[in-house]
Amino acid sequence: MNLASTSVTVGTGPLEFADITAVARHDAPVVLAAEALDGVAATRRIIAALAQDVHPHYGISTGFGALATTFIESDRRAQLQASLVRSHAAGSGPEVEREVVRALMLLRLSTLMTGRTGVRSVVAETYAALLNAGITPVVHEYGSLGCSGDLAPLAHCALAVMGEGRVRDAAGTLMGGGEALAAAGITPVVLAEKEGLALINGTDGMLGMLVLALADLARLLTTADIAAAMSVEALLGTDAAFAGDLQALRPQLGQAASAANLRALLAGSPLLASHAGPDDPTVQDAYSLRCAPQVHGAARDTMDHAALVAGRELASAVDNPVVTLDGRVLSNGNFHGAPVGYVLDFLAIIAADVASMSERRTDRHLDAARSKGLPPFLAHEVGVDSGLMIAQYTAAGIVSVLKRLAVPASVDSIPSSAMQEDHVSMGWAAARKLRHSIDGLGRVLAIEVMTASRSLDLRAPLVPGPATGAVRDLVRTVADGPGHDRFLSPEIEAIVELVASGAVRDAAAGVVGPLA
């Protein structure tokens, strides 16, 4: 299916995970639900009435944060909103990835369309127009404390809606926001009461990265099962520990799914059959082989919890103040990123641990004392060739980084805004490091797949099972089989791409059917 050709409708209800990845990664067009726009206009009338009140209302006729008690006269409020956005667009560092910014903008748009923020319809329409034109505001790595939401990243996006700041057009060309909007025929928005505040109070950046991470981890955990199956087979292990009745004795859902994958992947393996039966000397495989369902399964269960939190957040209208269903405008703390920040940190932990187990399996292939007859380091000419020795170093180095990235960001807090914001979530930081963790996990799994593929080749004339053999054959389209030492880095990168694209998962699933 061409995801870019399938539009995503944004209304009052929550977006689906697939909607977010379609817009963020595949440029699916955005359509605004007419009835939701009517609700946006109705709520705006409440804000307009309060703007005429002689009594101050936070975010409408007052300053912000520590300046919430300062009354602002009506003729200065447009300047107030624009000043808020300009001052909060204070990010620094490298540019954030395009898909993250698009996810962030889509999620802010989704909250605007709930009708709980009090913005005018034109604001939501302009956000949709930028997304559909492929205009991506430049958002920087640093600037968000995750409370009040992702202020600086969201402010950079709001600045673009105003026709200011820097953006990249659909072709990726860096230019001023006004220039890009003019080229696309989009009129910049002049912000009215409360609108600047409504555009920057939200967990949209960290939530967008969480949803994208869940999509990536779902693919990588299936790939981890495939890599483990290849290693069990090539290292002459046993699939007996993966039996369904044994797994049922510990009814963890993720563990059962992972074990079922391993059973399917190893079914019909001549290599396993070659040493199976009462004479099999393998009583118990090492933990990195035998306990793969327990670790990969626990990672799945953690993902399920993270998806539950993400789903609830997608159903939220995060703003401060917020317009309630009965028309009240109330301050609140729903912008605090703790729920999202915690699960982002949890996912960095599982990425590190799954990668750690994968690296241990890779190392077993290379150690002649544990590989059951394979040459040292899988070298072609032992002593002359180093084989895949240094590929394991690469995996080990990545795993070491992932362990450091697993240290939670959400336990940190640095007060800001003159102690008004005296406890912050650091959820944005948790999300940023998780993206590095996911990249590292994919690379470690790719090295295991490469290593196991060579081990399977070296078991000839015995052959692998249909599913693992299909993955080995896929690897051989980008990397040669056993032989004298050669330039290894390009082969590693090519297999990393096979993992990242889902090709490894698809090769196995093409034989055994869908995998969990």
- Residue 209 pLDDT more than 70? yes
DSSP state string for 281-306: --SS--HHHHTHHHHHHHHHHHHHHH
Please give the pLDDT value at position 317.
92
Three-class DSSP category at 275: coil
The answer for 412, left when phi > 0, alpha when psi is -120 to 50, beta otherwise, is beta
pLDDT at residue number 66 = 57
Task: Provide the pairing of β-strand 166-168 with 329-330.
Answer: unpaired
Residue 5 has pLDDT above 70, yes or no: no
CA gap 127, 162 in Å, rounded:
10
Q: Is the pLDDT of residue 95 over 90?
A: yes
Would you state the pLDDT for residue 511? 98
The percent of the chain in helix, strand and coil, each rounded to the nearest 5, is 60, 5, 35
| Tokens describing residue 413 | 């807090």
pLDDT over threshold 80, residue 75: no
Dist. CA 515–CA 303, nearest whole Å: 16
Q: What is the pLDDT of residues 35-46, one digit of tens each?
A: 999 999 999 999
In Å, how far from its chain's centre is CA 48? 38
CA distance between the termini of the chain? 21
Q: At 95, phi and psi to the nearest 5?
A: -70, 140
pLDDT confidence bin for 69, thresholds 50/70/90: low
CA nearest neighbour of 402 among 362, 432, 449, 441? 441
Contact 370, 333 (CB under 8 A): no
Among 150-159, 412-421, 427-436, the least confident range: 412-421
Tens digits of per-residue pLDDT, 253-285? 999 999 999 999 999 999 999 998 777 777 789
Predicted local confidence at residue 65, as pLDDT: 61
Model pLDDT, residue 306: 98
Helices (H), 89-120: 98-112
d(CA 337, CA 149): 6
The pLDDT value recorded for residue 152 is 96
Is cis: bond before 482, omega within 30 of 0? no
Using the predicted structure, report yes or no on whether residue 337 has a pLDDT greater than 70: yes
Alpha helices in 267-383 (DSSP H): 270-273, 287-290, 292-314, 338-366
The answer to whether residues 189 and 126 touch, using CB atoms and an 8 Å cutoff, is yes
pLDDT band at 68 (very low <50, low <70, confident <90, very high): low
pTM, 2 dp: 0.95
Overall average pLDDT of the 5-30 stretch: 96
Peptide bond into 278 cis (omega under 30): no
For the annotated catalytic residues, the residue numbers are 58
- State the DSSP code for 140: E
Percent of the chain with pLDDT over 90: 85
> What's the whole-number mean pLDDT along residues 384-394?
98
**Cβ-contact 194, 184 below 8 angstroms:** no
Mean pLDDT over each residue of the chain, to the nearest integer: 94
Segment 395-400 shows an average pLDDT of 98
d(CA 488, CA 470): 22
Q: CA-CA distance, 398 to 105, in Å (whole number)?
A: 32
Assign 189 a pLDDT band (cuts: 50, 70, 90): very high
Helix (H, G, I), strand (E, B) or coil at 502: coil
Q: What pLDDT, on a 0 to 100 scale, did the predictor assign at position 1? A: 41
Q: Which residues contact 471 (CB under 8 A, 6 or more apart)?
A: 226, 230, 449, 453, 504, 507, 508
